[in-house]
Structures are given as C-alpha cells and as structure tokens.
Amino acid sequence: MKNKYIISASIIIVFLFSACASSDDAGKVEQNKNICKISTEQKLYELSFVWKELSYNFANMDNCPFVNMDSLYRVYIPIIQNTKNDFEYCKAMQRFLANFNNGHTSVMDIPQYLDPYIARFYLETVYKDGKIIVENIGKQYADKIQIGDEITHINGIKALKYFEKNVVSYVCATNQKHKMHHAMFNKHGLAHLFEKDTKLTLKVKSKNGTKEVVLFANHEFPTNNATRANWTVAKNENAENIQLLIDSVNSFMYVHFYKCDENFYSFFKENANKMNKYQNLIIDLSDNQGGMLYYDYPMHFLFEKDTIFDFPMSTKVNRATCRARGKTVCDNPDFQNNIFTYCSSCCDYYKGTFFEFMILDNSPNSASKSQRYKGNIYVITNSNTASAAEGLAIAFSQNANTTIIGEKTAGAIGIPLFISLPSGLEVRINTEKTYDYKGNDVSSGFSPDYEYDFSEFYKIDNPNEMLNKFVKVIKKMKNNL
C-alpha cells in the first residue's frame, strides 16, 4: 500500500473522544462505568501497536490473501474509536485479529476487572448437516428446550445466518470447519461472551413441534465447579485427560489425548512396555487443543529412526537496508537488467515476504533399537486438532510405520508472539510458517494420509463398541491398500 494511505494514529487521537464518556444514554454509562476504564487514546494506541507487530512478525498472510493489512487497520480505527465500553473494545480487537485466519493469532485474555460484567448463555450447540443442534443446556431451561432440538432462528434471524453474521467473524481459525465448530455456542472463547443479562430469543424445533424460547446470559465467567453443575449434562473439565482402551483379540491399544500436558508425556513413560505388547497403536489427537510440544524422552521409543527430525519452520525477516534497496529496485523499472539487478533479491524484503528457515532441533533417538515400537501406529486427527497436537501429528508422519487418519487439522501451529497490552488485553501473533517433511507448507492445516469422519464414533456410550468401530475402519483401510 502507498504511504499516503497509511494514517498515523497519533494524528487521529487529537480528534477523538471517549465513546463511554460521550454516550447519549447517561444511565447506561453510569451502569457500565466500571467497564469504561480504557480511554479512546489508549484503545487506538493498542490497535496501532498490534498492527505494527503484525506488519513485522505475522507469518501467514497467505491464509488471508484478500486482506491488505494497512487497509484493514484504517477500517478498524473508527470501529475501535466507537466501541461503547471496554468489553466491546476487546471483542472488536478479536474481530480485527480474526481477519488473519490463524488459530495462533487472536485475543488470549481480557482485563480481569470485566469478569463480573460478562457472561455466557447456558447453551452449547453443534453444527451438523446444515442444522444448529442443541448439545447441552442449563438445567433451568430443561422444561423449555431439550438436547437434540434444532434451533431454526435466533433473534428473528435464521440460525445459520445469525452465526455467519454475528459470530464467525470473531473466530480466529484457518480451517473453515474448525472456525464453524468454534462459532457454535460453547463454554470457551471470546465469540460467545456477552454483557451479563443479554437477551436471546430462540425459535426451536423439537419432536413436539416449534416453540419460542427466551434465554439470558447468566452463565458466570470464569466457569467454576458450581456453574458446571447447572448443566443438563455435567462435564468435569478437570477430568482425566487420557482415555485408554484395549482390544486384545485384534492386538490394538487405543489412547485418546485431549491435551498435550504433563500427564500426556508421563503416560508414555509409564506405559512404554505395555504399548510394545500390542501390534497396533491408535493415538487419537482429535479435539486435542495442544499445550506443550516436545517429543523427547520418553516418547523416543515411538520413533523408528536413529535421529528424530524436527519439522521445518521458517520465519519472516526484516532488514532495513535490504528493504531500502528493494524499494529502489522494485519501484524503478529503469534499474532492471542492469548493474543493479543484484538488488532485485531485496524486493522480497521491501514487500515483507522474505522468510528464512530456522535451525532444526534434530535429536538422536535415546531409545535403543530393541526398545523401539515395532508395530503399526495410527494417528487420528480432526479439524479441532490444534497447536502442539498438530505438531505431534506432523512429527509422527516421519515414521514409515505411521498412518495419519481423519481430517485436516486446525491450522494453529507455530510459535506465537504474546503481547501484553497496558489495558490488560493480551493477544498473540503467529510468527512461523510450518512445513511437512516433503516441504509442503502446512501452516493452514496438516492433511491426513486417509480422510475419514470419526465424529459419530465419540457419541457411542460403550467404549469397547467405539474401539471396535475404529478397528474395523483401520482394517478396511489396510485391505484397500
């Protein structure tokens, strides 16, 4: 973008005033005065600071090919300026970052003083076959709405249109299926946080007909054990992270990990000998949102090579002199095909598209050859396999005995830069491009060797029956090779 279109926030600030202080609704200003602590000047400074960091460090503009970073910044200056309170400002920043279509580029935390003034609805939904289905509901609404009911309209708008218009634009994700999953009503993320007591009118279709249901945002934030107990289907979010199943007849061991945390890695240390007793190992990473990624000891026994290779990564490079040379060459065709053509390599610096590969952290396999797993490994992924879990799936793909099955991962891989802003808002910006071992850019998601939708399997109440279905799919896949 030409320099004449880049507006300095410092100039604009002179003409702006606080949206909270200038509201026409004096009563509402008084009511919300505790969520109007951030001045307009501070908001615009923080937007400008994030825009600056994106300009220099964001690695994945190919995820958002129709976004011009400078133009987007200009569009959001008045949006940020006119936010009515601090919570709306936080959501506006989330929407700004969501334009970059990256799971590691988002608002990570909001100021804690907002907690008493915000809430969620006691409602969880899932998107399936073009319909919005109730997956969980607060007990206080049990006589109005049931699990399995279809929501056809929200606030007078067709439900799908409501989500597309009001929610999807706040979800930071590359994978569109992952984006739609997180657009649904749920217990997490900024997209479904509202000012407390916000009203929602649903038109619900059940087996008994169609009816209208009114809900209010009163699910306290942050969630705690007391509020979890108010759900129709109570879920202990601190429950065991690991599900282990055995099929001795077919020699399968199945392990489903929901996080890459301390328990995840200690599990391999404690169960290495047990795993080696089975000819087939299923490592299920579906819905695993990541955590820590290091496949050092005690996971080495799952890798067959003497050297365990890190997957390639590259990062954006900014060099002022090269940018200056690049501008001279790129903007002046008279310099082409002459003595200065050596400077043409600097055009990428000028355009902000120069990347260099990082030094790989390859490591020798600490497990002896006799200790290494000799069977077949099947890694399950879906569109919600994110961050460290994606990295682990890529790492396993270097094994000749490993097959990746499922869906393309979320596209939230890389090392994000965390930025703590003075207001208490915290954002992150992804700084890496990630590649598989064939050199393909997989920053937008890692594709499996074989695609399969396992989503219905997880709804089976009997764990052994669920495992049996996994085994049947894998056997059929092997027979078709």
Domains of the chain: 3-105 (no CATH), 118-228 (2.30.42.10), 242-313+360-415+433-479 (3.90.226.10), 318-353 (no CATH)
pLDDT averaged over every residue in the chain: 86
Q: Cβ distance 41 to 10 under 8 Å?
A: no
Q: Cβ distance 373 to 301 under 8 Å?
A: yes
What string of DSSP letters covers 351-415? Answer: HT--EEEPPP--EE--S-TTTS--SEEEEEE-TT--THHHHHHHHHTT-TTEEEEE----S--S-
**Per-residue pLDDT tens digits for 372-411:** 999 999 999 999 899 999 999 999 999 999 999 999 999 8
Question: Comparing C-alpha atoms, which of 177, 267, 189, 175 is closest to residue 222?
Answer: 189
**Per-residue pLDDT tens digits for 81-90:** 999 999 999 9
- Amino acid present at 153: H
For the packed helices 86-98 and 40-57, what is the interaxial angle rounded to 10 degrees? 20
Number of alpha helices (DSSP H) and beta strands (DSSP E) in the chain? 13, 23
Q: Which residue reads 């249109």 in tokens?
A: 161
- Pairwise CA distance, residues 125 & 127, whole Å: 7
Q: Cβ distance 425 to 109 under 8 Å?
A: yes
The residue that leads in pLDDT, 228 or 439, is 439
% of the chain residues with pLDDT over 90: 60
Whole-angstrom CA distances from 130 to 126, 151, 205 are 10, 11, 14
pTM: 0.86
Q: Which residue reads 């002046």 in tokens?
A: 332
